[in-house]
Structure 1
Amino acid sequence: MRFFNTEGPVRPEMHYVLPPLGRWDLDEVLRMIAQQKYFLLHAPRQTGKTSCLLALMERLNREGHYLAVYANLETAQAARENIELAMTDIVQTIADEARADTGEQGLAELADDVLSNNAPTRALRAFLTQWCERSSRPLVLFLDEVDALVGDTLVSLLRQLRGGYRQRPRSFPNTIVLCGVRDLRDYRIHASSEDGPITGGSAFNIKAKSLRLGDFNAEEVNTLLTEHTQETGQIFTPEALVRVWTLTQGQPWLVNALAYECCFELPAGRDRAHPICVDLIDQAKENLILRRVTHLDQLADKLREPRVRRIIEPMLAGNALGEIPADERDYLIDLGLLRRVNGGGLTVANPIYREVLPRTLASGPNDAMPQIRPTWLTATGELDAEMLFDAFLAFWRQHGEALLGSAPYHEIAPHLVLMAFLQRVVKGGGGTLEREYAIGRGRMDLCLRYGRLTLGMELKVWRPGAADPLTEGLTQLDEYLAGLNLDSGWLVIFDRRPGIPPLTERLRSEDTQTPSGRAVRLVRA
């Protein structure tokens, strides 16, 4: 029985799969190969790049005009800037992969010969030259995980490929495709012997084009999920299909992971007579986040990088980005963290990532938080909004300021501590905490759902030199509550101005209302 794939390249005999060669403009790719072009393929991790390259390799070799070879260079990353060690690994890896995938003979001996008789800075070029000269077919070489290499090693590889370029196709590969997460502009090229970084263009200015592998569209998501139905008879309800698309926005790994969790891990989903419904999709989503599966954990790990923080921190706070260089914005798009919408505006790539980012950042305050007795629950286990409000004020008065230092992003530390508190509230009770944030909105919106209770709240910050955000906050909360179809909610204003009284003195609450008359519990913290 086939299943949804979440590890490595797809294998049609084992996995539900969309045809890999249908994921990109195959006519354009074949035309560039016919024109002896060198180009790049890049996309976020676990989106199907390797599967596409392997499928193209198989097609080219089956047609017989080209000799196509795939090689993953990731093992050379361990050599760092030791060019001799790295080039030995790269040359031997290419030789081994060519023998395994195409049956090419004598390449191991050729690799040993060129490594013994050439400087490391020309060994790869010599190997490819001699191989191409003895081959009866033009060579098409796919080099995967190239952006895992760094510094002098990466510079040497790119310059050796550039150095042999004019001898193609008789004495050098007809086409070389470099594949990785990053586009060439963001390759980590920095020669230790030079004062500054070497730009990607100067080291590899023979690149014809950069192709980006996109996510699934809604129709492709449905097609993939329907393969399971055709094979097992188990259906996804129409609402569940929409929910998968909404949560993932077609990110291939997320689509497969949600579906695998529902159909092969959750007890109800393993019953093929039980339709996959929205509740199962939501439970699967929560399981993936709570388990911190590798894909999401790797993504969250990027939050530590300064150039990622410079964009994500103001986004979470709802502030304008300011002067962020274009290459830093493009870097987050290449990673798959963000996408452009509405003609260029940046937003988090999908709702699952939008959930993971603040949860990850709030994990520090959550771990530092003391045990809190759930005084917000009634005797029957229901969440009472008034009791929760009182518990929050007591928590913030006693622990709020002390926990701010545990938040990794200072600009939004109060938001993260509050979210950690609310995550404790919903944990174990089957509740959810939904977060909405975007550039330039000047706020973060939270929606807490627990049993029959839905609570909408808005977080604002009173910053130095700014006016009291109360009026703006009430108007914005009015709009948010209208979208949730609620007639009441919370507005929490964190005062971050210097020289203000201690929290225990300034913390207060009052009842007010929005411009349209919705009831508001206002907290000034």
Structure 2
Amino acid sequence: MHRWFNTAGPCNPADHYMLPAEERLPGVRELIDRKAYFVLHAPRQIGKTTSLRTLARDLTAEGRYVAVLVSAEIGAPFPDDPGAAELAMLAEWRGTAGSQLPADLRPPPFPDAPPGQRIGAALRAWAKAAPRPLVVFLDEADALRDATLVSLLRQIRSGYPDRPSDFPHALALVGLRDVRDYKVTSGGSDRLGTSSPFNIKVESLTLRNFTHDEVAALYAQHTAETGQVFRPDAVDRAFELTQGQPWLVNALARQLVDVLVKDRALPITAADVDRAREILIERQDTHLDSLVDRLRQPRIRAVIEPMLAGTTLGDVPEDDRRFAVDLGLVRRTAEGGLVIANPIYREIIVRELASGVRDSLPRIPATWLTQDGRLDADRLLDGSSSSTSARDSLPSPSARAANTR
């Protein structure tokens, strides 16, 4: 069976069409070689987990490092109980290491330690026992909050001077936000606002979208395996609509080849891509539904609504603008201004913000549209002529006034 376009969870090269992970992570290997602790932040469904899981596997297979991707998300239900969060995370990390690493590279039994010190003690024990330098990618780090988050960051900072023999050689915090935007109730703010609990970071990186050539290369993998061609205009249109956002690129392709054009002898055209776009917008799958959920946040609406209205942003804090960029809702143009990230997001955002008004208006059939939603100029002109004739047949205002006397 041939591979397919993935829209749910990390990609697996045996099952899914995918691009080389490291091409979108320039400089990461150099940071690892330099024993750096760094932050990688990027929007959801852009390929963070897939890229880092693949990188960890490659680093381990090359024989220089013991590299693993673990998650902090399971500790999120315990924002004010670091001890409980630590136990949950460490139990999951052991299972994750068991699936990612050969037996001789897995962690030793984690030592007993007081609450608030368990993560640091576990990383220290693992680094000491590992036969090679330990590299840890900590995914969903920004899912933690409040006391649990601050405790984790301080434990990592405390062990940092003892690397690489007694603490991980290199470590990355991975999530949606840069460390300054991590959620914590402190000093009247709902954000950390500073990197001080993790002031050991060397760099904050992000994961870019696909380029036009990469979209073409991804779609060409389907052509190579099935013979079904994506015409150049289809690739152009897909890139135009998505601006290379990886989930959208895959979601469009999945609709095209699995739903709309299942006959592999038929090529994919730009018109097919437009049909797939409408399906995605109407369905609002998990990724797009989470996009809509972000619009309910006041700090996000303060950025988005003026942009759509064509007015200036006004007194919108730089942190809020940066946060909207980090979430992938908007992007900076080459000239430095902000625009909605891609046309699909723009249409969804406009529909969502106008949904209340739209539902309040009476439904008037658009008789000037064809069945596929395109403008029928003849019908429009006929309707305009009919309206003009009907208006001209009405008595003038003076005549109506005379009739009432």
What's the TM-score once normalised by structure 1's chain length?
0.69
SS in 2 for 1:347: strand
Aligned counterparts, 1:170-319, within 5 A = 170-191=165-186, 198-266=192-260, 269-319=261-311
CA contact (8 A) 1:154 1:189 kept: yes
| 1:215-270 superposed Cα distances (whole Å, 9 cap, x missing partner) | 0111111111111111111111221111001101111111110011010012xx10
Aligned counterparts, 1:418-457, within 5 A = 429-431=371-373, 449-452=374-377
- The 1:452–1:287 alpha-carbon spacing in structure 2 relative to 1, beyond 3 Å, is farther
- The 1:40–1:31 alpha-carbon spacing in structure 2 relative to 1, beyond 3 Å, is same
SS in 2 for 1:41: strand
Q: Which ranges of structure 1 fall in alignment gaps of 5 or more residues?
A: 384-425, 432-448, 456-487, 489-525
| 1:138-158 superposed Cα distances (whole Å, 9 cap, x missing partner) | 110111011111111111111
Residue in 2 aligned with 1:24?
A: 25
Residue in 2 aligned with 1:91?
A: 90
Residue in 1 aligned with 2:398?
A: none
CA contact (8 A) 1:92 1:108 kept: no
- Aligned equivalents of 1:310, 1:373: Cα separation in 2: 32
Residue in 2 aligned with 1:153?
A: 148
Residue in 2 aligned with 1:82?
A: 81
Matched, 1:4 2:5: yes
State the AA in 2 paired with 1:13: A
Q: CA deviation at 1:32?
A: 1.5
- The 1:328–1:13 alpha-carbon spacing in structure 2 relative to 1, beyond 3 Å, is same
Q: CA deviation at 1:369?
A: 4.1
| 1:288-337 superposed Cα distances (whole Å, 9 cap, x missing partner) | 01011111110111011011011111111110111211111110110000
- Aligned equivalents of 1:323, 1:200: Cα separation in 2: 21
State the AA in 2 paired with 1:145: E
Matched, 1:168 2:160: no
- Aligned equivalents of 1:107, 1:283: Cα separation in 2: 48
- The 1:278–1:106 alpha-carbon spacing in structure 2 relative to 1, beyond 3 Å, is closer
Q: CA deviation at 1:71?
A: 0.6
Residue in 1 aligned with 2:322?
A: 330
Match of 1:344 among 330, 336, 348: 336
Q: CA deviation at 1:55?
A: 1.2
| 1:186-205 superposed Cα distances (whole Å, 9 cap, x missing partner) | 111335xx655644411100
State the AA in 1 paired with 2:183: R
Matched, 1:121 2:120: no
State the AA in 2 paired with 1:20: A
Residue in 2 aligned with 1:404?
A: none
Count of paired positions: 379
SS in 2 for 1:224: helix
SS in 2 for 1:130: helix
CA contact (8 A) 2:177 2:326 kept: yes
Matched, 1:139 2:134: yes
- Aligned equivalents of 1:258, 1:454: Cα separation in 2: 32
- Aligned equivalents of 1:170, 1:453: Cα separation in 2: 78
Please give the root-mean-square deviation of Cα atoms over the aligned residues, in Å. Answer: 2.1
Q: Which ranges of structure 2 fall in alignment gaps of 5 or more residues?
A: 385-405
Q: Which has the higher contact order (CA 8 A, sep 6+)?
A: 2
- The 1:226–1:105 alpha-carbon spacing in structure 2 relative to 1, beyond 3 Å, is closer
Indicate the structure with greater strand content. Answer: 1
CA contact (8 A) 2:79 2:149 kept: no
Q: CA deviation at 1:70?
A: 1.1
- Aligned equivalents of 1:190, 1:350: Cα separation in 2: 33
- Aligned equivalents of 1:283, 1:450: Cα separation in 2: 16
SS in 1 for 2:46: coil
Residue in 2 aligned with 1:438?
A: none
SS in 2 for 1:260: helix
- The 1:453–1:299 alpha-carbon spacing in structure 2 relative to 1, beyond 3 Å, is farther
What's the TM-score once normalised by structure 2's chain length?
0.89
Residue in 2 aligned with 1:59?
A: 58
- Aligned equivalents of 2:378, 2:299: Cα separation in 1: 39
- The 1:217–1:107 alpha-carbon spacing in structure 2 relative to 1, beyond 3 Å, is closer
CA contact (8 A) 2:3 2:16 kept: yes
Q: CA deviation at 1:430?
A: 2.7
| 1:320-370 superposed Cα distances (whole Å, 9 cap, x missing partner) | 111211111110110000000132100001110111101112222334445
- The 1:215–1:79 alpha-carbon spacing in structure 2 relative to 1, beyond 3 Å, is same
- Aligned equivalents of 2:60, 2:228: Cα separation in 1: 38
- Aligned equivalents of 1:180, 1:289: Cα separation in 2: 26
- The 1:337–1:84 alpha-carbon spacing in structure 2 relative to 1, beyond 3 Å, is same
- The 1:109–1:209 alpha-carbon spacing in structure 2 relative to 1, beyond 3 Å, is closer
Identity %: 45
Residue in 2 aligned with 1:70?
A: 69
| 1:400-432 superposed Cα distances (whole Å, 9 cap, x missing partner) | xxxxxxxxxxxxxxxxxxxxxxxxxx9xx432x
CA contact (8 A) 1:430 1:451 kept: no
State the AA in 2 paired with 1:11: N
SS in 1 for 2:57: helix
State the AA in 2 paired with 1:351: P
- Aligned equivalents of 1:321, 1:452: Cα separation in 2: 38
- Aligned equivalents of 1:212, 1:303: Cα separation in 2: 22
Q: CA deviation at 1:105?
A: 6.5
- The 1:362–1:198 alpha-carbon spacing in structure 2 relative to 1, beyond 3 Å, is closer
- Aligned equivalents of 2:33, 2:164: Cα separation in 1: 11
| 1:488-512 superposed Cα distances (whole Å, 9 cap, x missing partner) | 9xxxxxxxxxxxxxxxxxxxxxxxx
- The 1:42–1:209 alpha-carbon spacing in structure 2 relative to 1, beyond 3 Å, is same
SS in 1 for 2:126: helix
Q: CA deviation at 1:183?
A: 1.1
Aligned counterparts, 1:355-370, within 5 A = 355-370=347-362
- The 1:450–1:156 alpha-carbon spacing in structure 2 relative to 1, beyond 3 Å, is same
| 1:87-144 superposed Cα distances (whole Å, 9 cap, x missing partner) | 1111222222112211347978723x42xxx222111111111222222211101110
